[in-house]
Structures are given as structure tokens and as C-alpha cells.
Chain A
Amino acid sequence: EDQVTQSPEALRLQEGESSSLNCSYTVSGLRGLFWYRQDPGKGPEFLFTLYSAGEEKEKERLKATLTKKESFLHITAPKPEDSATYLCAVQSNDYKLSFGAGTTVTVRA
């Protein structure tokens, strides 16, 4: 059974204080690892897809990296608008997504 574990559960940052979120996973046949951002009462918003170990992707203040066992989402110099729950999911060969519980990030001005 595919498993995804995200840490920490919650992260409180001061504006400008860079940090990283972790997503460790076990999956039978990784098709892709996805990062999503979810705001309260909204559906997840797609951020990145990573397909193979060593791959990196960036978008504004966010950078995602992937190894064979885990992925990191780095937030550089975060702003209050980066406050959200960040979800990690792995996609197996049958295209099903298994989600982690998420990391709720709060950035204080």
C-alpha cells in the first residue's frame, strides 16, 4: 500500500524566514510526485509534478526537489500570502493519488 508522510504537521514562520517541508513516501511504481497548495474551503491548487530522483522545479518562492524516498518543498523568504496547507501526493502506475496529511504553513508579517 502506498504511503505518504508529511512533516511537520504545522509550521509557523516569520515573514522572510525560509524553511523546508518534507514528504517521505513508499510507493509501488512511482509515476509522479505532486505538490499542491490548499487554502481553507478550497480545492487543491496544482504546484509541481516531479517524475524522477534528482529533479527540481521552481515557482516564485517555492522549490521542490525529489529523491528516491522523499521530496522537499523549500519556501524561500515566505510572505503572508504563502500561508496555506501544502499537500504532497504520490501517483502510482494506476494513476491513483495517495495524499499525505499536509503541512499547514502560517507566515506572520
Chain B
Amino acid sequence: GAVVSQHPSWVICKSGTSVKIECRSLDFQATTMFWYRQFPKQSLMLMATSNEGSKATYEQGVEKDKFLINHASLTLSTLTVTSAHPEDSSFYICSARQFIRGELFFGEGSRLTVL
């Protein structure tokens, strides 16, 4: 199956710092990527939709200034958690939509812990 790579897989940072998470589609072009957040034993909650070359679309209740998304190319989207606080600690997962077939493939996730 298609491969989506997420980096880093885990990160620990101090409160007030910013953290960048990368999502790459390794063997296909992805015009659209999605960013999700998952709390323990809960399902995935869509945060935003990232479209290559345009601004991301954020879901209701998600602060766009807190979670900066950039989709610079057909294979790379980044999520930057700015001025992170302990409540931002979570499991962040990206998915990439394959251009032709429209199927969605997920990265391995990035666990963020803010101290």
C-alpha cells in the first residue's frame, strides 16, 4: 500500500516552544492532506484540511494561529504547534489522499508531550 511518513514520531518540549511535525507521501502525490488529533482511547478528530498551494481549512473550534499548516508541495505538509502548552499534548496523525484513486493513507502519528 501507499506510504505516508510522519516525523518526528514523538517529541517532548517545554511549554511556550513551537513544534513542527512533517507529513510526507513517499510514493504518490497528494493534493490534499488531513491533520487529525487523537486523545487516549478516543477516535480521530479532524483538525484541518491542507490543500497544496492554498490555505488550510480548519474545523470549527481549531485555532488556526495555534496550529499552523503549510502544504508546500504535492508530497509534504507540515503542522506547527505554536507556543505549545500542556493541553496541546496529544497524538497527531496526518493522512494523505491519493490523487487518482482518492484513497486515504495515514502516517504513523506523532506523539507530542508538552511539559
- Contacts from A to B (Cβ < 8 Å): 31-32, 34, 36, 41-46, 49, 87, 91, 95-102
- Complex contacts, B93 vs chain A, CB 8 Å: 43-44
Closest to B110 in A: A43
Q: Please, which residue of chain A has its CB at the minimum distance from the CB of B10?
A: A41
Asked whether any CB of chain A lies closer than 8 Å to the CB of B75, the reply is: no
DSSP majority for the B interface?
Answer: strand
Q: Contacts A31-B102, A95-B32; is A43 near B6 (CB within 8 Å)? A: yes
- Say yes or no for B114: interface residue by CB 8 A criterion: no
B109 touches A96 (CB 8 A): no
Residue of A nearest to B92 (CB): A43
A residues near B108, Cβ cutoff 8 Å: 42-43
- Name the CB-closest residue of A to B111: A41
Within 8 A of A (CB), among B61-115: 91, 93, 95, 97, 102-109, 111
A42 contacts which chain B residues (CB < 8 A)? Answer: 108-109
Known contacts A44-B93, A46-B1; A101/B106 CB under 8 A: no
A97 is contacted by which of B1, B4, B42, B46 (Cβ under 8 Å)?
B46
* CB of B25 closer than 8 Å to a CB of A: no
Number of B residues whose C-beta is below 8 Å from A?
A: 24
In the bound complex, CA of A36 to CA of B106 (Å) = 10
Give residues in B with beta carbon < 8 Å to A. Answer: 1, 4, 6, 32, 34, 42-46, 49, 91, 93, 95, 97, 102-109, 111
CB pair A102–B104 under 8 Å, yes or no, is no
A102 closest partner in B (C-beta): B43
Question: Can you name 29 A-B residue pairings with CB atoms under 8 Å?
Answer: A32-B102, A34-B104, A36-B106, A42-B108, A42-B109, A43-B4, A43-B93, A43-B106, A43-B108, A43-B109, A44-B44, A44-B106, A46-B103, A46-B105, A46-B106, A87-B43, A95-B49, A95-B102, A95-B104, A96-B46, A96-B49, A97-B46, A97-B95, A97-B104, A98-B46, A99-B43, A99-B44, A99-B45, A102-B43
Docked CA distance A22–B91 (Å): 26
Residue pair B109, A45 in contact (C-beta under 8 Å): no
- Cα(A36)–Cα(B36), bound, Å: 15
